Structure 1
Amino acid sequence: MTLTVADLRAAIDRLVDAMARDFDMLNSADGALGDGDLGVTLTRGTKAMQEAAPGLPDDLGQALLACAQAFTRTSGSSYGTLMATGLMSMAKALKGRTGVEASEVSALIAGARDAMQARGKAELGGKTVLDSLDAMAQATAGLTDPAAVAAAAADAAARAQAALKDKPATVGRARIFGEKTIGMDDPGMIAMTAIAAALAGR
């Protein structure tokens, strides 16, 4: 099954609903280790993408670029910047195409991970969203059914979050708290788990 801009629009609607639902939870989690505005960032960013959705072109690359630009206009936060960076990586890979196969999603996620890693100058294992994306890329490799890909990505994000909960954060603002972060979920990983779940229709 080929995924198109129509699927992107539907996915954006699910993200808007999920971010509104998880608004307080995301802000609270971020408040423990950061600025406490992660829910604000993601709610504004996804709503901006939703507002842009009706006018998105059939070219998936251009559509994703427009989404990245819309998201960036709403927030100057580091997480918002990373999200836009990931979207732009996917946009570049899909430029000129009107469809993408589910089997390509793993490589797109991996590309976003690498672009975000270069932008944030972080390493895997640091208890960040990069670890979520790495797990998602690995879990979706070789899958060809869209529903299976979405489910595998959502499950992988949740597993990665749980696996690193008892590790100390070594990257970003959270690293300031050092050993205190042991036993705490990383806000960025929480957000990616929520995003992946929403994309899977959960």
Structure 2
Amino acid sequence: MISSKTLSAALARIASHTEAASEELCSADGALGDGDLGITVSKGFAEAAATDLPEDIGMALLAIAKAFQRASSSSYGTLLATGFMAAAKMEKGKTKIDPAGIPGLVAAARDAMMARGKGHLGDKTVLDSLDAVANALDHAPLEEMINVAIAAAAETAEQYRGKPNKLGRARMFGERSIGLLDPGQLAFLRIVEALRA
């Protein structure tokens, strides 16, 4: 079972991992956007990791969302906050997350982010990564969930490398975005990688 303490420990690992990947993410974002994605992600998770999370897991997830809102006004930060808010609504009043419910939480985050960002699956965005992870986790043994999520996120980023971006600033590059990793998908991969202890 996943408690607020578990979440805090995970946030610390993600903050450290995304800080180390910040330059890589900014470089990937610079090829298709404004080049600040690494700062957005690392700052957001650093803020979340420094937050004292309440025992109520729903309120803890809401606190993480608010940390992202404080740390970043970028579109990616806003989408992550939206995803955490969706998960928070589902877990309100609970003190622990049942790992078996994680696929549903990822799917809820995907749907909320899709509605907020007006995106669609296949646009070559983080939405595709969330969808792949939600589907992969749905059939994964509990002890393999993190490895399965990492594999799904990595496969999605590589799969979409050969496709054009169809949403956000990156869509302006059209065919020139073919062959490049989507920065949001790469950032999500780095986030999930950090969960592997």
TM-score by length of 1: 0.95
Q: Indicate the residue corresponding to 1:186 in structure 2.
A: 182
Deviations 1:33-66 (A, max 9, x none): 11100011011111111111xx211100000101
**1:200 and 2:191 aligned:** no
What amino acid maps onto 1:23 in structure 2?
S
Confirm or deny: 8 A CA contact 1:101 1:144 kept in the other structure.
no
Confirm or deny: 8 A CA contact 1:103 1:144 kept in the other structure.
no
**1:57 and 2:54 aligned:** yes
Q: Indicate the residue corresponding to 1:29 in structure 2.
A: 28
CA distance in structure 2 between the aligned counterparts of 1:8 and 1:94, rounded to whole angstroms: 13
CA distance in structure 1 between the aligned counterparts of 2:13 and 2:170, rounded to whole angstroms: 29
CA distance in structure 1 between the aligned counterparts of 2:91 and 2:138, rounded to whole angstroms: 18
CA distance in structure 2 between the aligned counterparts of 1:142 and 1:98, rounded to whole angstroms: 25
CA distance in structure 1 between the aligned counterparts of 2:14 and 2:119, rounded to whole angstroms: 26
Q: Indicate the residue corresponding to 2:117 in structure 1.
A: 120
Q: Secondary structure at 1:199's aligned position in 2?
A: coil
Q: Indicate the residue corresponding to 2:10 in structure 1.
A: 11
Aligned pairs (5 A) from 1:20-99: 20-52=19-51, 55-99=52-96
Alignment root-mean-square deviation, CA:
0.9
Confirm or deny: 8 A CA contact 1:4 1:99 kept in the other structure.
yes
Q: Secondary structure at 2:50's aligned position in 1?
A: helix
CA distance in structure 1 between the aligned counterparts of 2:8 and 2:33, rounded to whole angstroms: 31
Q: CA deviation at 1:144?
A: 4.7
TM-score by length of 2: 0.98
Q: CA deviation at 1:139?
A: 0.4
Query: Identity over aligned residues, as a percent?
Result: 47
Q: Any runs of at least 4 consecutive aligned residues in structure 1 with deviations exceeding 4 A, and if so which?
A: none
**1:148 and 2:147 aligned:** no
